[in-house]
């Protein structure tokens, strides 16, 4: 049932190309008819050779000329059909990838967090390619195969109905065998796709963390884990291939029996004088042509089982629940007042995290969020940005519930610099202007200067035109962080989020950049997630969180006077 549903969806994707499909079918019909003409002509050529010294050369010449013409027509039809099928197939695969990626951009963050990133990438890239291969075989061989079978039966019936019955009677055996094996191969191909995605995820992870693995001495463990996943993929691939490979030899055996039966029956009729040697030769040629599509179709069915399994995995992404958003906008400029009213949230319903949290931040205030790992600091940021929605209560910006405005409108008002740097493949200039595409070169340079990034950028071989990889190439972690800070300084939205934004920068650079931060944060509401408490002593409000609860809040001086959790944490870092 699921396979049928997948097929219907694939056909719906092909609907815009229905004109090309019809043309491909016409060419397939032309290919089949011209191909099936050749055995008839071969039989006539043989009948022109009556015996030793008795050859009808004039008739033989005409027949051979017709064979050459028909072969040329076959070639042209098949070439044009393959070109069209390629166009249809790769266009459908392109659209499938496009739909999957566009849906991926609109699914809830929780979906991305809960799935293996490598498996998602494998579905969109590897599975799409496998789907293309299977669909291409379906177009190029399935149409012609079915038409060849039908055409061959018609031609055989015209020559001798009794011999045609021998072939037709044995046909269901091949179909039943192919169907029996194809059903079992589908599940194995699906499992193979899943194991391939797991291996892709693991390999991507280990390549990106190669230095850390070497440092931790985890090479042997990584090798063992890779071997385990590799063996699992090998096992599923071998089983999928085994089941699929049974189809071809099974149908070949049945078809060989059919061919032998046709030969025996035809020989007896020829000896009895019912048919000529040329007609018998034509019949054997048709029996061969009749068997060939079955062998091809069974191979196509196997590939299409793989294609359906891969397409189903891509459709799972396309079918993911889409984030429901509205087109609400803020009225005028956002001042930056942020309030949380009795906010409760948990990632897992049975494990409460944030409960009844209330908070009020005036425009331009600097709020620092501190606490141990797992306290809920990052969760608070996720709620502010609407990466997740609150379970109850409300988060408001300028007294407006952020759920009443679009996510894009909200996120345009926030600028973020996170602990983990994000750079994409492109020039430094392109990376810096990501949040402000219309920025001038002068503005880009000024932002880089303010972030103390201009100096090292100028030293690079191509300066601001230096092309980076997503990993940052030869840049240090601190330099990559400076680029992210410069990018934020260029956009300068009314509200800022800094999640350990200077964690990868040396002390001297950090001291210089704090002044730049002070200028940038002036008049802007800022949320700072900090572990080094020395950097947030000047915050207007400090929240100390544990287990999703704000246990203490106040200024640095007020919290030290309370001599509570914050004071204990601060003294543990800076006591002499």
Q: pLDDT tens digits for 512-556?
A: 667 667 777 778 888 888 777 777 888 889 888 888 788 888 888
pLDDT mean across residues, the chain:
79
User: 307-311, 399-403, 476-480, 504-508 — which is least confidently predicted?
Assistant: 504-508
Q: What is the pLDDT of residue 566?
A: 87
Are 403 and 125 in contact, with CB atoms under 8 Å apart?
no
CATH superfamily of 338-574: P-loop containing nucleotide triphosphate hydrolases (3.40.50.300)
Measured CA to CA in angstroms, residue 311 lies from 4, 59, 124, 303, 436 at distances of 12, 54, 10, 12, 37
Cα angle for residues 372, 378, 381 (degrees, 5° grid): 140
525-529 and 366-370: which strand pairing?
A: parallel
The position carrying tokens 């609109």 is 106
- Residue 373, burial from CB neighbour count under 10 angstroms (0-12, 13-18, 19+): exposed
User: 255-269, 346-360, 556-570 — which is least confidently predicted?
Assistant: 255-269
Which residue did the predictor score with more confidence, 489 or 474? 489
> Is pLDDT of 290 > 80?
no
Of the candidates 367, 370, 369, the residue with the CA atom closest to the CA atom of residue 572: 370
- Phi then psi for residue 217, to 5 deg, are 65, 35
Sequence-distant (≥ 6) Cβ neighbours of residue 258 within 8 angstroms: 166, 167, 170, 287, 290, 291
Q: How far is CA 286 from the centre of its chain?
A: 45
CA distance 547 to 531: 16
Per-position b or e across 434-456, b if 16+ CB within 10 A of its CB: bebeebeeeebbbbbebbbbbee
Percent of the chain with pLDDT over 90: 1
Q: What is the pLDDT of residue 498?
A: 83
Per-position b or e across 523-546, b if 16+ CB within 10 A of its CB: ebbbbbbbbebebbeebbbbbbbe
Sequence-distant (≥ 6) Cβ neighbours of residue 91 within 8 angstroms: 17
Are 166 and 285 in contact, with CB atoms under 8 Å apart?
no
Domain 89-318 is found in CATH 1.20.1560.10: yes
Which residue did the predictor score with more confidence, 134 or 453? 453
Measured CA to CA in angstroms, residue 321 lies from 103, 108, 117, 324, 330 at distances of 9, 7, 17, 9, 26
The arithmetic mean of pLDDT across residues 229-250, rounded, is: 80
Residue 132 tokens read as 């293309």
Domain ranges in the chain? 89-318, 338-574
The arithmetic mean of pLDDT across residues 45-49, rounded, is: 75
CA distance 54 to 567: 116
Sequence-distant (≥ 6) Cβ neighbours of residue 510 within 8 angstroms: 502, 535
Domains 89-318 and 338-574 belong to one CATH topology: no
The length of the chain in residues reads 576
Are 372 and 529 in contact, with CB atoms under 8 Å apart?
no
Q: Indicate the DSSP class of residue 321.
A: P
Are 354 and 376 in contact, with CB atoms under 8 Å apart?
yes
Q: Indicate the DSSP class of residue 351.
A: B
Q: Indicate the DSSP class of residue 242.
A: H
User: 29-33, 53-57, 352-356 — which is least confidently predicted?
Assistant: 53-57
- Could you tell me the end-to-end alpha-carbon distance of the chain, in angstroms, rounded to an integer? 71
Sequence-distant (≥ 6) Cβ neighbours of residue 414 within 8 angstroms: 384, 385, 493, 495, 496, 497
- Phi then psi for residue 573, to 5 deg, are -90, -30
Are 142 and 88 in contact, with CB atoms under 8 Å apart?
no
Q: What is the pLDDT of residue 394?
A: 92
Give the full edge-to-edge strand order of the sheet including 392-397: 354-361, 338-345, 392-397, 400-401
Helix axes 18-47, 143-159, angle to 10 degrees: 30
> Is pLDDT of 576 > 60?
no
Residue 472's pLDDT band (cuts 50, 70, 90): low
The position carrying tokens 């566009």 is 102
Residue 224 tokens read as 């063992």
Q: Indicate the DSSP class of residue 460.
A: S
pTM: 0.59
Over residues 129-179, the pLDDT tens digits come to: 777 777 766 766 777 777 777 777 787 777 777 777 777 777 777 667 766
Residue 575's pLDDT band (cuts 50, 70, 90): low
400-401 and 392-397: which strand pairing?
A: antiparallel
């Amino acid at each position: 049932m699921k396979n049928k549903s997948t097929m219907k969806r694939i056909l719906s994707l092909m609907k815009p190309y229905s004109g090309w499909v019809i043309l491909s079918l016409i060419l397939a019909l032309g290919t089949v008819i011209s191909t099936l003409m050749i055995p008839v002509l071969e039989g006539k050529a043989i009948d022109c050779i009556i015996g030793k010294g008795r050859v009808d050369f004039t008739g033989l010449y005409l027949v051979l000329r017709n064979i050459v013409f028909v072969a040329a027509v076959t070639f042209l039809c098949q070439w044009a059909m393959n070109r069209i099928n390629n166009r249809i197939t790769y266009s459908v695969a392109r659209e499938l990838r496009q739909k999957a990626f566009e849906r991926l951009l609109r699914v809830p963050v929780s979906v991305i967090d809960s799935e293996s990133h490598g498996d998602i990438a494998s579905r969109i890239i590897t599975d799409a390619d496998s789907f293309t291969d299977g669909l291409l075989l379906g177009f190029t061989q399935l149409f012609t195969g079915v038409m060849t079978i039908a055409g061959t039966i018609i031609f055989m019936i015209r020559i001798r109905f009794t011999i045609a019955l021998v072939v037709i009677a044995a046909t269901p055996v091949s179909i039943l065998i192919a169907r029996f094996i194809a059903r079992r191969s589908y599940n194995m191909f699906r499992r193979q796709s899943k194991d391939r995605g797991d291996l892709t995820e693991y390999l991507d992870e280990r390549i990106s963390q190669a230095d850390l693995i070497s440092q931790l001495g985890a090479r042997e463990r990584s090798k063992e884990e890779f071997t385990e996943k590799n063996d699992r993929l090998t096992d599923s691939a071998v089983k999928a291939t085994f089941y699929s490979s049974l189809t071809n030899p099974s149908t070949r055996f049945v078809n060989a029996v059919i061919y032998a039966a046709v030969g025996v029956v035809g020989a007896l009729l020829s000896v009895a004088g019912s048919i000529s040697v040329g007609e018998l030769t034509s019949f054997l040629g048709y029996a061969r042509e009749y068997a060939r599509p079955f062998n091809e179709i069974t191979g196509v069915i196997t590939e299409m089982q793989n294609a359906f399994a891969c397409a189903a995995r891509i459709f799972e992404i396309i079918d993911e629940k889409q984030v429901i958003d509205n087109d609400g906008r803020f009225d005028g400029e956002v001042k930056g007042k942020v309030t949380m009213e009795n906010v409760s949230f948990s990632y897992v319903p049975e494990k409460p995290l944030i409960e009844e949290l209330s908070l009020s931040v005036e425009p331009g205030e600097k709020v620092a969020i501190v606490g141990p790992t797992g306290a809920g600091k990052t969760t608070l940021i996720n709620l502010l940005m609407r990466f997740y929605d609150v379970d109850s209560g409300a988060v408001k910006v300028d007294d407006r519930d952020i759920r009443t405005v679009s996510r894009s409108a909200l996120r345009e008002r926030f600028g973020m610099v996170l602990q983990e740097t994000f750079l994409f493949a492109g020039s430094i200039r392109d990376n810096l202007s990501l949040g402000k595409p219309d920025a001038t070169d002068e503005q880009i340079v000024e932002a880089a200067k303010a972030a103390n990034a201009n100096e090292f950028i100028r030293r690079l071989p191509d300066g601001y035109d230096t092309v980076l990889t997503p990993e940052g190439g030869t840049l240090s972690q601190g330099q990559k962080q400076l680029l992210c800070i410069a990018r934020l300084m260029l956009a300068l939205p009314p509200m800022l989020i800094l999640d350990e934004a200077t964690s990868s920068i040396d002390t001297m650079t950090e001291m210089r950049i704090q002044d730049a931060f002070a200028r940038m944060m002036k008049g802007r509401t800022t949320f700072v997630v900090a572990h080094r408490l020395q950097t947030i002593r000047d915050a207007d409000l400090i929240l100390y969180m544990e287990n999703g609860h704000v246990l203490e809040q106040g200024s640095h001086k007020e919290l030290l006077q309370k001599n509570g959790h914050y004071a204990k944490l601060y003294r543990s870092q800076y006591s002499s």
